[in-house]
Amino acid sequence: MTQAVLAIRQLSAAYGKVEALSNINLSVGEGQIVTVIGPNGAGKTTLLSAAIGLLPSKGNIEFDGVLEAQPEVEHLVGRGLILVPEKRELFSEMSVEDNLILGAFQRHRAGHRDAAATLQQVYDLFPRLKERRHQHAGTLSGGERQMLAVGRALMAKPRLLMLDEPSLGLAPLIVREIFRIIAELRQRGVSILLVEQNARAALQVADYAYVLENGRTAMEGPASQLRDDPRVIETYLGLGGKHQDLLST
């Protein structure tokens, strides 16, 4: 495999005494899309939260070749690890454009004054956001909110973008649009760690995949292999989902 942007080894995390993750090993290579699929409550969101330091965890997290002994959100964000959380966490009473500009806050602090150019790129990718740039983020539709969350993350020029359920609660056509954009981001050299319940679409777009069940890695392998694995088909893809196939391609 190419050099890993993110390497997680023996990661465990717990909510009180309830262990939510145990001994997870995961790695995302340069320019790859890696997906983590699994049922509700498998620990997917916990994995992302622990990786970025929102939750305390045990184990090794190595980002961009540096071991993070005590992962801290703001520090990791400064180094280019960006999370688009499941709840989006937008600044709802601020305009779309202000939300985007704040995405580049850490870069501004580090002395990079290129937010205007990045903003233009994000608007090119999401023309919809440009149309609504003066509107409050809270007035956007679900799909637009997701676009804004992704756009805001891109403003930070991530080395690795972690997307938590980007298709959650969105209409099928918008889901398709979101996955088209994920594929396009890879073209631009952004590495992506994608957590999804929509396993079909995630396995279409990803290079490598992990299946998480009850906080443990149940399966892993190249996405193209897992797509044809009978256990995955039975549990996550199901039969009679052909129309989903059509929508997600």
Contacting another protein (CB under 8 A), which of 88, 132, 157, 200? 88
The H or E element containing residue 33 is strand 33-37
184 belongs to the binding site for another protein (CB under 8 A): no
Q: Which stretch binds another protein (CB under 8 A): 25-33, 97-105, 177-185, 208-216?
A: 97-105
Q: How far is the CB of 93 from another protein (least distance, A)?
A: 6
184's torsion region: left (phi>0), alpha (psi -120 to 50) or beta?
alpha
Q: Which stretch binds another protein (CB under 8 A): 37-45, 83-91, 116-124, 195-203?
A: 83-91
Contact between residue 197 and residue 40 where contact means Cβ atoms under 8 Å apart? yes
CB atoms within 10 A of CB 117: 9
CA atoms within 13 A on the CB side of 203: 24
Contacting another protein (CB under 8 A), which of 8, 13, 37, 90? 90
4 belongs to the binding site for another protein (CB under 8 A): no
Contacting another protein (CB under 8 A), which of 10, 58, 108, 180? 108
Q: How far is the CB of 112 from another protein (least distance, A)?
A: 12
- 70: nearest Cα among 58, 80, 81: 58
- The owner of tokens 């989903």 is 244
Q: Which stretch binds another protein (CB under 8 A): 59-67, 104-112, 170-178, 233-241?
A: 104-112
Q: What span, in angstroms and rounded, lies between the C-alpha atoms of 60 and 58?
A: 7
Contacting another protein (CB under 8 A), which of 42, 50, 156, 190? 156
Size of the site for another protein (CB under 8 A): 27
Residues present in the chain in total: 249
174 belongs to the binding site for another protein (CB under 8 A): no
- 100: nearest Cα among 125, 129, 139, 141: 129
The CA–CA distances, whole Å, from 139 to 4, 14, 93, 127 equal 39, 36, 9, 17
Segment 45-64, which members bind another protein (CB under 8 A)?
A: 52, 54
- Nearer to another protein among residue 88 and residue 132 (C-beta): 88
Contacting another protein (CB under 8 A), which of 71, 85, 143, 158? 85
140 belongs to the binding site for another protein (CB under 8 A): no
Q: How far is the CB of 183 from another protein (least distance, A)?
A: 24
What angle (nearest 5°) sits at the alpha carbon of residue 237, between those of residues 234 and 242?
Answer: 120
- Nearer to another protein among residue 85 and residue 215 (C-beta): 85
- Sheet of 18-29: strands edge to edge? 18-29, 4-15, 58-63, 66-67
Q: How far is the CB of 85 from another protein (least distance, A)?
A: 7
Residues at the site binding another protein, with contacts judged by CB under 8 A? 52, 54, 73-74, 77-78, 82-83, 85, 87-94, 98, 101-103, 105-106, 108-109, 152, 156
